[in-house]
Amino acid sequence: MESNTPDTAALGEKIVGILKTIYDPEIPVDIYELGLIYDVFVNEANEVKILMTLTTPNCPVAESLPMEVEEKVKSLDEVSTAEVEITFDPPWTQDLMSEEAKLELGML
Protein backbone atom coordinates (compact mmCIF):
# COMPACT_ATOMS: atom_id res chain seq x y z
CA MET A 1 0.00 0.00 0.00
CA GLU A 2 1.33 3.43 -0.89
CA SER A 3 1.41 6.10 1.75
CA ASN A 4 3.05 9.49 1.61
CA THR A 5 1.98 10.83 4.98
CA PRO A 6 0.99 9.23 8.28
CA ASP A 7 -2.57 10.40 7.60
CA THR A 8 -2.95 8.30 4.47
CA ALA A 9 -1.42 5.31 6.28
CA ALA A 10 -3.89 5.71 9.17
CA LEU A 11 -6.76 6.03 6.70
CA GLY A 12 -5.50 2.93 4.90
CA GLU A 13 -5.73 1.03 8.20
CA LYS A 14 -9.30 2.25 8.69
CA ILE A 15 -10.20 1.16 5.16
CA VAL A 16 -8.79 -2.32 5.82
CA GLY A 17 -10.93 -2.38 8.98
CA ILE A 18 -14.01 -1.63 6.88
CA LEU A 19 -13.05 -4.25 4.27
CA LYS A 20 -12.87 -6.85 7.04
CA THR A 21 -16.58 -6.27 7.74
CA ILE A 22 -17.60 -7.29 4.21
CA TYR A 23 -18.11 -10.99 3.62
CA ASP A 24 -18.27 -13.13 0.52
CA PRO A 25 -21.84 -14.51 0.58
CA GLU A 26 -20.69 -18.00 -0.35
CA ILE A 27 -17.74 -18.27 2.04
CA PRO A 28 -17.93 -17.28 5.73
CA VAL A 29 -14.72 -15.23 5.51
CA ASP A 30 -14.29 -11.51 4.92
CA ILE A 31 -13.10 -10.30 1.52
CA TYR A 32 -9.78 -9.02 2.92
CA GLU A 33 -8.76 -12.35 4.48
CA LEU A 34 -10.00 -14.14 1.36
CA GLY A 35 -7.40 -12.22 -0.64
CA LEU A 36 -9.94 -10.49 -2.88
CA ILE A 37 -8.38 -7.08 -2.20
CA TYR A 38 -5.27 -6.67 -4.33
CA ASP A 39 -4.43 -3.06 -3.49
CA VAL A 40 -5.67 0.02 -1.67
CA PHE A 41 -4.42 3.41 -2.84
CA VAL A 42 -4.97 6.62 -0.87
CA ASN A 43 -3.71 9.97 -2.13
CA GLU A 44 -3.24 13.27 -0.30
CA ALA A 45 -6.77 14.34 -1.24
CA ASN A 46 -8.05 11.18 0.53
CA GLU A 47 -9.31 9.77 -2.73
CA VAL A 48 -9.37 6.02 -2.45
CA LYS A 49 -8.96 3.46 -5.18
CA ILE A 50 -9.37 -0.21 -4.40
CA LEU A 51 -8.21 -2.89 -6.77
CA MET A 52 -10.08 -6.09 -6.08
CA THR A 53 -11.10 -9.34 -7.68
CA LEU A 54 -13.92 -11.82 -7.25
CA THR A 55 -13.67 -15.55 -6.62
CA THR A 56 -15.05 -16.13 -10.13
CA PRO A 57 -15.99 -13.80 -13.01
CA ASN A 58 -19.60 -15.04 -12.82
CA CYS A 59 -19.73 -14.64 -9.03
CA PRO A 60 -23.38 -14.04 -7.96
CA VAL A 61 -22.37 -10.78 -6.26
CA ALA A 62 -20.27 -9.45 -9.17
CA GLU A 63 -22.53 -6.39 -9.30
CA SER A 64 -23.36 -5.84 -5.64
CA LEU A 65 -20.09 -6.62 -3.87
CA PRO A 66 -17.97 -3.86 -5.49
CA MET A 67 -20.84 -1.42 -4.82
CA GLU A 68 -20.94 -2.48 -1.17
CA VAL A 69 -17.17 -1.99 -0.86
CA GLU A 70 -17.43 1.46 -2.46
CA GLU A 71 -20.36 2.55 -0.26
CA LYS A 72 -18.80 1.35 2.99
CA VAL A 73 -15.43 2.98 2.24
CA LYS A 74 -17.17 6.22 1.19
CA SER A 75 -18.99 6.21 4.54
CA LEU A 76 -15.70 7.04 6.30
CA ASP A 77 -15.67 10.78 7.03
CA GLU A 78 -12.06 11.18 5.89
CA VAL A 79 -12.67 9.64 2.47
CA SER A 80 -13.46 12.15 -0.28
CA THR A 81 -14.14 9.61 -3.03
CA ALA A 82 -13.85 5.86 -3.40
CA GLU A 83 -13.60 3.84 -6.56
CA VAL A 84 -13.45 0.08 -6.87
CA GLU A 85 -11.81 -1.46 -9.88
CA ILE A 86 -12.41 -5.15 -10.54
CA THR A 87 -9.66 -7.16 -12.15
CA PHE A 88 -9.22 -10.82 -12.97
CA ASP A 89 -5.52 -10.43 -13.61
CA PRO A 90 -4.16 -12.30 -11.80
CA PRO A 91 -7.16 -14.58 -11.30
CA TRP A 92 -8.06 -15.33 -7.69
CA THR A 93 -6.88 -18.64 -6.29
CA GLN A 94 -7.09 -20.15 -2.84
CA ASP A 95 -3.38 -19.38 -2.43
CA LEU A 96 -4.32 -15.71 -1.95
CA MET A 97 -6.26 -16.50 1.22
CA SER A 98 -4.70 -15.59 4.55
CA GLU A 99 -3.72 -18.32 7.02
CA GLU A 100 -6.69 -17.15 9.11
CA ALA A 101 -9.11 -17.73 6.21
CA LYS A 102 -7.65 -21.15 5.44
CA LEU A 103 -7.95 -22.11 9.09
CA GLU A 104 -11.54 -20.86 9.21
CA LEU A 105 -12.42 -23.01 6.20
CA GLY A 106 -10.59 -26.06 7.53
CA MET A 107 -7.95 -25.98 4.81
CA LEU A 108 -4.95 -26.13 7.16
Number of compact structural domains in the chain: 1
- Output the pTM of the full model: 0.88
Q: How confident is the model at residue 3 (pLDDT cuts 50, 70, 90)?
A: very low
Length of the chain: 108
* Structural domain boundaries, residue 40: 6-97
Radius of gyration of the chain (CA): 14
Per-residue pLDDT at 66: 95
33 CB-contact burial (10 Å; exposed 0-12 / middle 13-18 / buried 19+): buried
Q: Specify if 105 maps to a domain.
A: no
Task: Select the more confidently predicted residue: 5 or 49.
Answer: 49
Output b/e per residue, 35-46; b: 16+ Cβ within 10 A: bbbbebbbeeeb
Q: Specify if 23 maps to a domain.
A: yes
Per-residue pLDDT at 108: 84
Q: Give the domain CATH number at 73.
A: 3.30.300.130
Q: Specify if 37 maps to a domain.
A: yes
**Contact indicator for 58, 71 with CB cutoff of 8 Å:** no
Q: Which helix (H) or strand (E) holds 47?
A: strand 47-52
pLDDT at 6 over 80: no
Q: Specify if 69 maps to a domain.
A: yes
CA proximity to 52, closest of 67, 36, 68: 36
Q: Specify if 1 maps to a domain.
A: no
